[in-house]
Structure 1
Amino acid sequence: MAVVDDRFADLNPKTCVVLGGRGFLGRSLVLRLLKLGNWIVRVADSAQSLQLHHSESLLEQALSSSRASYFHVDLLDKRSIVKVLEGSSVVFYMDVAGVDVNNFYTCYKLMVQGAKNVISACRECRVRRLIYNSSADVVVGGLHDIRDGDESLAYPWKTNNTLSDLKAQAEALILSANDIDGLLTCSLRPSNVFGPGDTEFVPYFLKLARYGFSKFIIGTGDNLSDFTFSENVTHAHICAEEALNFQTVSVAGKTFFITNLEPMKFWEFLSLLLEGLEYQRPFIKLPAKLVQYILSVLKWVHEKLGSRYFSYPLLVHFFQLASYTRTFNCMAAQKDIGYSPIVSLEEGVTLTIESFSHLARDSSFSRCCSSTEQSKADKLLGGGKVADILLWREEKKSFACFLVLVLLFYWFFLSGRTFISAAARLLLFSTLLLYGHGFLPSKLFGFHIQRIPTTYFEISDTAVKDSVTTTVYLWNRGFQNISGLAQGDDWSAFFKIAVFLYLLKLILSELFTKMIGIGLAVAFMAFFVYEQYESEIDGLVDFLFTSLKEFMIHLMRISPVSISRLLHYQENFQH
């Protein structure tokens, strides 16, 4: 073991444990503690061994000089926690790693039962101070605004965010353990934490941007939010530890909101991040009620299919962030623990953009778009002009084609005219437009009017002869078929045509218009969505086919022997 530097020993360092020390905020806190120079830091996390990043040279040096050490810890095993905490005076309880937000049982064990084990271990090891990293989301309940909220806000009776609910339970347990066996506790509630190394907040919005959803604004876009740069959160933890040590009465057993003290419009903040990484700034506003309705549909899908394909709780959390005001008062933190931001919001955004430069549009999105590998949707559409239009490769051209088709659909099917009268009116309207275009001057109000060449309306003799030949052939062939049916020579063909005409009558009379409309909408949406979520949709199809196969197997088991043999024979025949 390396010998501790004498100069470091003269500082009379304190020993602390950073639980969750390899998480986003845990890494930041460890780095700041080491920079202060008067701490012996025990980094504890769920990973079996410590894998250092090339940017963690300070931690590497601290490990070699025994200023830092790493411990594998299991929050569900109290003995492993006691082993880490023995001899330490302070515990910084940061975010729990490995939490699956879609698995309530796992979340509950790690967050609530884990908090109980940490409290018990702290009391057993005579730890003096326990600072818990909570979240401002613990007081966010239903869909409503919070303006300048302070620590008097109660926990909501009901919440749509399971993670926040369990975090609130863990926070309540830690605060209730204050001043028992000499343990002093407090909790910090940062709001919308971001910064270099972020694994949730910023990456989630960049993922949406890469999928093309960054252009949409939910609601009016005027809702305010508080944001907190990661270094300010770690600075607040150190302030809280010092305050617990010297100002016990005003800090112990209390909670404190932590922000950058610079509330701003949520969509403006998001725009700064996206523009800094060369993504499109949000500009299309969607009604919040419409998005809420879509979420209710997704909730039903989530309950039926589970969490394999998307995270419904994460979508709800994003909807709350994006459409409601969430601002918090930090007067208590400023007064009682001496907190004030050490990094401004503007500087924090700049540092975050620099750290995520590898995910910028020109370095990731463009590479993806220029990839030589052809997507499945592109292959299905033939990879030509139709594919470019239906996959929205050129948005203006795709939108123009969609608009023209919608107008034609309305003209022929929804206007109340017969098909022939609609076609005649359209031909008359087109003729008048072309006739009027021919009388326009070469320049009108300073704009150059481009003439349509007469060659566009010429048809070659060969094309006319081919068209006439084809028409005559089809006419003669049809006459022969009709003559054969009239003489009763081919009853099989008669019944086929009769059934086809009957089905065509049903379609034309009831379903044709709806099918055209649905097909038009699906054509311009389904292929684009499939290209963006190819793996998820393929997984869903695979899940459905697997479920169908399992159902058939179950049906064969409970069916009589004769039916089981028939089903088994059909399955083998299809293979």
Structure 2
Amino acid sequence: MADHAGEPESVVESVMEKITDTFHGHDSSSDSDNEKKSSPVSSIKAKIYRLFGRETPMHKVLGGGKPADILLWRDKKVTAGVLGVATGIWILFELLEYHLLTLVCHISILALATLFLWSNASTFVNKSPPKIPEFGLSDDIVLDVASALRVEMNRAFAILREIASGRDLKKFLAVIAGLWFLSILGSCCNFLTLLYISFVVLHTVPVLYEKYEDQVDSFAEKAEMEIKKQYAVFNVKVLSKIPKGPLKDKKVA
């Protein structure tokens, strides 16, 4: 009787084990299905087109740190203050037609008069005159600035030499088009206005791009594909017919 009573219990236990196995099997299969589904999604996200081949966030592209925070409006008060100062300078020189030398002289007169009156007034109120700090440039700062300028200028000369060598026709045409556009823009406004427009664009376009980067990247991808098609047609009809001589690098002794 004890054996017969134990048989139903063993049957029930085996059935429960099978049920739990089937549930675990479904869970593992569902997990594997989720992994299979998520892997294509992650691969698609990894292949999303970014403008200029960008693979890092905009904050790192702009150099990171405080300058990137200012350009991307991380600190709105500082960015608004910088734009306000730039706008005030532009209004002062462009709209009011103030001159730089006149402004420097007036600021110097005001600063010297203030310090002079403050130093003399302190003797009447029985206070020690204020200590004017000493200003000066150290040799290290001047050498570092000169070295940085030298490196950047040599890099610019190397890029210009590579473009002028005729090895990369696409880059040559892009530089010519950019210079032509700048010449037209320069004929419409003076250098100070152009500098102010560039400053405002630098403080507005990156933050707008960061906010709407998906839409901008999608439009830029379509535009790039269309430009490549047009360039291919132009290459077949025009550029391929231009005779090219062999390019030989000259050995510098």
Same fold (TM over 0.5): no
Q: TM-score of the superposition, structure 1-length normalised? A: 0.21
Q: TM-score of the superposition, structure 2-length normalised? A: 0.44
Question: Which structure carries more relative contact order (alpha carbon 8 Å, separation 6+)?
Answer: 2
**Structure 1 or 2: more helix by fraction:** 2
